[in-house]
Chain A
């Protein structure tokens, strides 16, 4: 079963607007990660937030984590056409091998 559930499944916005994607999970985690996948390509790591962190920034990305609600959000500010991609959250529930469990993803389309 999938640990992470992204919401919405698809999002279409105008260039320059902000995009927010949400991820909910079911069990306790060590960390939560966000990945981007361009069409037909592999996944690329964007940002990792640990269970004892509440917010993290990287460039135009802002990630929040609420462990009490078992949820995370990814905010992309001032979106660009190149941000068009699928975005996945992944949770790490185990120590050692770090078997990341991925959600189903949010398909983001940035319209020029």
Chain B
């Protein structure tokens, strides 16, 4: 039982390049989230999904796109990377029916845009 797995763990991009971060969870969770973490800013929600085939914008969605084609996977895409997108990205998931609201996090993906 791996929980929430993010790939890749590290990536360096040049400005204007594109890339996709993959989040996979094996807990059959309905809800999935992408956050970014910057020094002194805490975690900010980029996009989230409440089920397969659905996505919604979070607090800082500009410059990112997401897809949830399969329940277990949530992809975060950067079409044209900018230095401001240098950050650590965290994926999280939770069941859709639990009363606890606890989020389960991946270990993070560190992205540097030069």
Contacts and interface: CB of A to CB of B under 8 A. Distances in A.
Interface of A: 2, 4, 30-31, 33, 35, 40-45, 48, 88, 90, 92, 96-105
Interface residues of B, number: 27
Given A102-B44, A104-B41, 6 more contacts: A4-B42, A35-B103, A43-B105, A97-B56, A102-B43, A103-B42
12 contacts: A35-B103, A40-B108, A42-B4, A42-B106, A43-B90, A45-B104, A48-B101, A97-B31, A99-B33, A101-B45, A101-B59, A102-B42
A43 B103 contact: yes
Interface of B: 4, 31, 33, 35, 40-45, 48, 50, 56, 58-59, 90, 92, 94, 100-108
Contacts, number: 60
Dominant secondary structure of chain B at its interface with chain A = strand
Contacts of B103: 33, 35, 43, 45, 90, 100
Contacts of B50: 96-97
